[in-house]
Chain A
Amino acid sequence: MRKIGVIYSGIASHYRTFKESKYRKYVNEYFYFPDFEHASLANVDILIVPSQLNGTLLKQAKSKIQQYTEDGASSLLLVHNLGSGFLIKIGKNGKRTSGGGSKKILRVDCIYNNQNMIYLLILAWKMRRGTNTVYSGRAKKLTN
């Protein structure tokens, strides 16, 4: 079974989404964001990078997250208001706009709230290896 890791930044919405008991079963490992730089991602197959992260720490984490996806693992990035090109270059039509490789990138619009996050976690669990999914923008049903 694939293992899901989540970057957790100690804010209320992250806590309610990822750490409350009803969601905990979907998450195998939490990476507290201030400690992320020194954390090992070796034990997770999928990394969820939520929105609302501290920008300074995110810049420091950028290369580590990019390296993680380049290594063939999977990631979910909730880039709402971050600018979708910051972590992984991706165009409006869902095609990757830079970089090579054969990784499949999906893009599904969503809203970042607790109702949808449960579907997001299930989606993460079902993701194929090497798939990046970028969520951004306004609410739509979470399907791909």
Chain B
Amino acid sequence: MTDQSLLMLDPGHAFGLRNRIHPFTRENFHLIDQYDFSTVDLEPYKGLVIQEFCDQEYLLQQQDRITEFLHHGKIVIFCGHLFLNLLPGTFPFIPKSVSSFRDYIISKESEHEIFEGVLAEEMTFNKGVAGFFARGTHPHKEEVEVLLRLPGGMPTTYIDRTSTNGTIFVHAGKDLFNYHAQNKSTNRIPAQLLQWVHDEYGRIQGEEKDA
């Protein structure tokens, strides 16, 4: 059974083919070509997923629609490196200066349901190489909830619940919904992130009813 309540923008590039046709993507997202975003009615969707290779120049033109979507208590998930301020409260990506692989070691700020059971070491290393998971940061407001950091306290992954009426999830790295079949604890991330989106939406809507 498929759930079409999350809208995912597909950059449409060749790298993304495997994830585009993956059953997890097909069953849990309404996948559209990114350039169709301007014509889509956003009302039915709980969340919007902006993937790493999306056209930020185009999305900047759609900034008002994205902001309005958030103001309706919806959720935006962004994974990648922002170079334009297309999301409220976000700032351009800053790569981490590195002198060794240890500069890419990921640590958890605290236990969070999205990364429950996921070993920090297995986020840091992929086939023995560090740096695939995240290589820098997006500066953010103080009020965000930081989930993961690089050495030196540099946040890679955070949740912003204060810039809008909705929630913005920002990860300065590869798409977290695409961590499939790695045969390690990172396999847990896509399903747990998905569950978090649905739970978060329920929480926001509940708060709006209570208000």
A51 to B14, CA, bound (A): 8
Q: Let me know if A54 and B55 touch, CB within 8 A.
A: yes
**Among candidates A54, A80, A81, residue contacting B12 with C-beta atoms closer than 8 Å:** A54
Which of chain B's residues 70-88 have a Cβ closer than 8 Å to chain A?
Answer: 80-83
Which of chain B's residues 86-103 have a Cβ closer than 8 Å to chain A?
Answer: 93
Residues on the B chain within 8 Å of A82, using CB = 14
Is the C-beta of B125 less than 8 angstroms from some C-beta in chain A? no
Q: Let me know if A12 and B56 touch, CB within 8 A.
A: yes
B53 → chain A closest CB, angstroms: 5
**Among candidates A13, A16, A56, A83, residue contacting B33 with C-beta atoms closer than 8 Å:** A56
A11 to B17, CA, bound (A): 17
Q: Mark B1-20, 1 if CB is under 8 A from A, else 0.
A: 00000000001111101000
B16 → chain A closest CB, angstroms: 9
Q: Mark B164-184, 1 if CB is under 8 A from A, else 0.
A: 000000000000000000000
Is the C-beta of B54 less than 8 angstroms from some C-beta in chain A? yes
Q: Let me know if A54 and B13 touch, CB within 8 A.
A: yes
B57 → chain A closest CB, angstroms: 3
Residues on the A chain within 8 Å of B34, using CB = 54
Is the C-beta of A72 less than 8 angstroms from some C-beta in chain B? no
Interface range on chain A (Cβ under 8 Å from partner): 20 to 34
Is the C-beta of A32 less than 8 angstroms from some C-beta in chain B? yes
A98 to B107, CA, bound (A): 52
Shortest Cβ distance from B36 into A: residue: A56
Is the C-beta of B160 less than 8 angstroms from some C-beta in chain A? no
Which of chain A's residues 2-45 have a Cβ closer than 8 Å to chain B?
Answer: 9-13, 15-16, 32-34
Given contacts A15-B83, A54-B35, A56-B33, contact A10 B12 (CB under 8 A): no
Q: Mark A33-72, 1 if CB is under 8 A from B, else 0.
A: 1100000000000000001111111000000000000000
Q: Mark B27-56, 1 if CB is under 8 A from A, else 0.
A: 000000111000000000000000011111
A57 to B34, CA, bound (A): 11
Given contacts A54-B35, A81-B15, contact A9 B55 (CB under 8 A): yes
Q: Let me know if B55 and A12 touch, CB within 8 A.
A: no
B180 → chain A closest CB, angstroms: 17
Shortest Cβ distance from B57 into A: residue: A10
Is the C-beta of B58 less than 8 angstroms from some C-beta in chain A? yes
Residues on the A chain within 8 Å of B13, using CB = 51-55
A82 to B16, CA, bound (A): 11
A34 → chain B closest CB, angstroms: 7
Residues on the B chain within 8 Å of A80, using CB = 14-15
A33 to B53, CA, bound (A): 14
Q: Let me know if A55 and B53 touch, CB within 8 A.
A: no
Q: Let me know if B81 and A12 touch, CB within 8 A.
A: yes
Chain B contact residues, CB within 8 Å of chain A: 11-15, 17, 33-35, 52-59, 80-83, 93
| 15 further A-B pairs in the complex, CB-CB below 8 A; given A13-B81, A54-B34, A81-B14 | A9-B55, A11-B53, A11-B56, A12-B82, A12-B83, A13-B53, A15-B56, A32-B57, A51-B13, A51-B15, A52-B14, A54-B13, A56-B35, A80-B15, A82-B14
Chain A contact residues, CB within 8 Å of chain B: 9-13, 15-16, 32-34, 51-57, 80-83
Q: Can you give 12 A-B contacts (C-beta < 8 A)?
A: A9-B55, A11-B54, A11-B56, A34-B55, A51-B15, A52-B14, A54-B33, A54-B34, A55-B13, A55-B14, A57-B35, A83-B14
